[in-house]
Amino acid sequence: MILPRASGVVLHISSLPGRFGIGDLGAGARQFTDFLAAAAQGYWQVLPLGPSCEIFGNSPYMSYSAFAGNPLFIDLADLVDQGLLSPGPLREAPDFSEYQVDYQAVTAYREPLLAQAALEFRANPSAEYDSFCDGTKWLGDYCLFMALRERYQELPWYRWPVEVARREPATLARMREELAQSVDYHRFLQFQFARQWASLRDYARERGVKLIGDLPIYVSHDSADVWAHPEYFCLQPETMLPTHVAGVPPDYFSATGQRWGNPLYLWRDRDGQVNQSLYSWWGERLGRLLELVNLCRIDHFRGFDSFWEIEASEETAQNGRWVAGPGLDFFEAMRQLLGDLPIIAEDLGIITPGVTELRHRVGLPGMRVLQFAFDFDEKNAYLPHNFTSTNTVVYTGTHDNNTTLGWFMGEELNEPVRDLVRRYLRSDGREINRDLIRLALSSVAGLAIFPLQDVLGFGADCRMNTPGTSEGNWRWRCAARFLTDEAAAWLQEDTIFYNRTGSFNREA
């Protein structure tokens, strides 16, 4: 894949401005798209779009489905416009915070309204809805899974009655009949998400803005994906619990590593043959995301070369081992299924020559994060003078980093390193967020991306996620008043100055 010389901004849907407690696919998303267009930005990168789990702190990287959209992102005002809701409940919405998502309060407010809209819709479903249900392969398993979670008081699927957990055909047929209304409700939610997302994508395309999605390499154990296809994962046959789980060894973010807890894939069968059914599922998964976005960032790309295997009984990620992944064969299979692969490889962390070789052979751009560049080593690969290819995506920071202002001013850096940063940037540090963005824009990397917090100069209190912690993450929101003409103007000026408008105002 050849990247155009362009730039863009990271902002998750949940962080968008809006009246109803969480960002959604409505007016706030269009306001942000207009801001990007005014700032001459060609890309908007979002985090994974799936329905999040409260037990995992509503992380978008631990979802109930690798295919479904998050119902909390459905625009309620659009349901009013469709005649499915009266405007009264929207006028009487609670006084939600503009700056933080209270997931419990948001869910309590939104779910009854979504249920009411579904009831209204059920009386007069459309041909478009019927076509969506008939043509969406993953929908049946996902909707039944969610209905069953409600039946069994939100217990994880491996604690359901054994005949349901093991998907005995006669039992599933009976459950589909008994839970038909609940299943239909979840179909309605996914239909609304799909049509609203398509409308937003069209709106962005008309304004020259392309969308970048994010695909976690692993899926949650308690998900429709693992329940529907346990044969793709390392599970104990008796308990359906993982034998081994995913994570990474000790690194920059954590001294004990990160034990993510996702079940690992069975890339090969007992005879050592490629699991072709798993490959087909992956083709469907990638294909689904590429229907929604123009580019896809695969999180933890190195897991395709080798992955960190942790025994499920281990409490941390320290005592794991590297195991060979599916490698080039996987990507050749994906090309046969999907054609060109517009993918960004997240190749951060402990990267071996094998990982780099795999990325080069597949022809995917890798990532460079400027916050990782300043360690007194002039050969650091993240320093822009060491970038060797335009087929690179440079970030000031990611969703897992502190904001640039929080990073520069906080305890992550000591004063000698701060001096080094100022020297490299030829900066006095007073506008460190803009200076680091300019460094990204000026680099040879084909694509430069920065979190909205860095564009706006926000501090550590606006950080999206702190790896290795379970409280207070994924909640940050941007109030509408911060998306100012002044912020768009300086970013536009610098984007033009560094010749990064090559993809702007072209058809996606």
CA distance 306 to 321: 10
In a 10 Å sphere around its CB, with 0-12 CB exposed, 13-18 middle and 19+ buried, how is residue 131 labelled? exposed
Q: Active-site residue among 346, 435, 454, 494?
A: 346
Known active-site residue 415? no
| 409 CB burial (10 A radius; 0-12, 13-18, 19+) | middle
| Cα–Cα distance, 191 to 128 (Å, whole number) | 9
Contacts (Cβ under 8 Å, ≥6 apart) of 150 = 182
Set 24, 225, 299, 454: catalytic member: 299
Active site residue 346: yes
Which one-letter DSSP state was computed for residue 271? T
Distance CA 177, CA 99 (A): 43
Nearest to 493 by CA among 6, 40, 8: 40
Query: In 99-161, which residue ranges form alpha helices assigned H by DSSP?
Result: 103-122, 127-135, 139-151
Long-range CB pairs of 232-238 (<8 Å, 24+ gap) are 232/265, 232/266, 232/275, 232/277, 232/278, 232/281, 233/263, 233/264, 233/265, 233/266, 234/263, 234/264, 234/265, 234/266, 235/263
Residue of 141, 305, 400, 494 marked active site? 400
How, if at all, do strands 306-311 and 244-248 pair?
antiparallel
Question: Who's near 201: CB < 8 A, 6+ residues apart?
Answer: 211, 292, 293, 508
The 3-state DSSP class for residue 49 equals: coil
Cα–Cα distance, 493 to 500 (Å, whole number): 10
Alpha-carbon span 69 to 52, nearest angstrom: 9
Alpha helices, DSSP H only, in 385-461? 404-409, 415-425, 432-442, 452-456
Q: Is the dihedral of CA 87, 88, 94, 98 positive or negative?
A: positive
Half-sphere CA count of 101, side-chain side, radius 13 A? 30
Query: Do 341 and 1 meet the contact criterion of CB atoms below 8 Å apart?
Result: yes
Nearest to 451 by CA among 3, 2, 12: 12
- Between the CA of residue 22 and those of 12, 56, 75, 261, what are the distances in Å? 11, 18, 10, 27
| CA-angle at 460, arms to 392 and 317, nearest 5° | 65
* Active-site annotation, residues: 299, 346, 400
